[in-house]
Structure 1
Amino acid sequence: MAELATIARPYAEALFKAAVETGADLDGTADWVEELAAIAATPQVQEVAASPKVTDDQVYDLITGVARSALPSLAQNFLRTLIANGRLAALPEIAAQFRARVNEHKGSSDAVVYSAFPLDEAALADLRPVLEKRFGRKLNLSVQLDPALIGGIRVVVGDEVLDTSVKARLEQMKAALTA
């Protein structure tokens, strides 16, 4: 949705600049932006926010009431600005663009490691330098289970994919045999 991305960009940039200027922890800021985005993306919150009978303060109170912890003043001001400007629906895109901006600032990327089986911290620690060398940058790894892979892993970094899963190898063999 290009329009939403266009709307979100100035908000993400302004939040990034404000976080840097105030000396806020960028990862901590990204965490609360992502938490607020998850809350704002729920259909119930969207329905309440879209209602003409509900005030901006009531929407703000609803979102902050659902948040796991107290929000810093930067978060409170940012959320109030989004609500006042009717941009709450853009919050998930703002969070994604903010995280990308933080990663760019740090010279890293988010990576999702799909695995058929749970990976413990030791395995992830062994895997990290191999993947960082392969992709040529520092990676923020997260793991998701995907039993359909049968074995091995599939790593997604932006639009790059490294697939060493058993499922991928079987599909390659199938393609070679039927060709």
Structure 2
Amino acid sequence: MAELTTVARPYAEAVYSLASEAQRLDQWSEALRWLAAMVQNPEVAEYAANPKHTAQEVEALMLEVLGERADGEVKNFVRTLIENSRLTLLPQIAHQFELLKAQAEGAVDATVETAFPLSEEQKTELVQTLSKKYGRAVRLDVRENADLIGGVRVLVGDDVIDASVRGKLHAMAASLKN
């Protein structure tokens, strides 16, 4: 996985630079999300990997699905990825692009795993608490994970805040073994 990220980073940085200069970060963000979703679709992935289809056919498919999101720069980007056999990197490129965008906006992404759905009030309180802790705006990605039993587990960059029942049980078991 680290190798894919390493190969994807220069593409993401180049796209970010281009989008930033043109003040089109949101448009590029949307186009990259669509492109990443397309290559993760099994049918599209199979079509793109099939040697019976030419690079032009794969490009035409990608651009047809993108529709109006595909301006000249996006078309050139897709063409470059296809020519360099890097189409499968799109999910990593999109992720790296979003990280660069968040960094420029002074925001940080937080993934929150919770055993039960959070109310809007709880989400707001969590955003405020995390914003205060990290000194930056926080964007939440909330996911349900019944394995946690209760509580939440928050991932912000490399930081993990485990306030789940499962995490506390593991910590208790580890301390009892010592």
Q: How high is the TM-score relative to the length of structure 1? A: 0.86
Contact 2:111-2:143 within 8 A present in 1 as well:
yes
d(CA) in 1 for partners of 2:82 and 2:152?
41
d(CA) in 2 for partners of 1:160 and 1:126?
19
Contact 1:27-1:102 within 8 A present in 2 as well:
no
From 69, 72, 85, the equivalent of 1:71 is 69
Q: CA deviation at 1:47?
A: 2.6
Q: Which runs of 5+ in 2 are unaligned?
A: none
- 1:88 matched to which residue of 2? 87
d(CA) in 1 for partners of 2:135 and 2:163?
18
Confirm whether residue 33 of structure 1 aligns to residue 2 of structure 2: no
**Structure 2 letter corresponding to 1:143:** V
- 1:133 matched to which residue of 2? 132
Q: CA deviation at 1:63?
A: 2.6
Q: CA RMSD in A?
A: 2.1
List structure 1 runs of 4+ shifted beyond 6 angstroms: none
Q: CA deviation at 1:96?
A: 1.7
Q: CA deviation at 1:20?
A: 1.2
d(CA) in 2 for partners of 1:10 and 1:112?
25
Out of 71-80 and 154-163, give the one that drifted further.
Answer: 71-80
1:36-59 residue CA offsets vs partner (Å, 9 max, x unmatched): 112113343233222232122321
- 2:159 matched to which residue of 1? 160
Confirm whether residue 46 of structure 1 aligns to residue 45 of structure 2: yes
Contact 1:149-1:165 within 8 A present in 2 as well:
yes
1:65-124 residue CA offsets vs partner (Å, 9 max, x unmatched): 445x63141333322222233210221221121111112211222110111111122221
SS for the counterpart of 2:140 is strand
d(CA) in 1 for partners of 2:51 and 2:165?
53
- 1:15 matched to which residue of 2? 15
Taking every aligned residue pair, what percent have the same amino acid on both sides? 44
SS for the counterpart of 2:104 is helix
Q: CA deviation at 1:160?
A: 0.7
d(CA) in 2 for partners of 1:163 and 1:27?
32
Confirm whether residue 142 of structure 1 aligns to residue 141 of structure 2: yes
SS for the counterpart of 1:70 is helix
Contact 1:153-1:165 within 8 A present in 2 as well:
yes
Q: Which runs of 5+ in 1 are unaligned?
A: none
d(CA) in 2 for partners of 1:106 and 1:46?
33
Out of 29-38 and 161-170, give the one that drifted further.
Answer: 29-38
d(CA) in 1 for partners of 2:170 and 2:97?
37
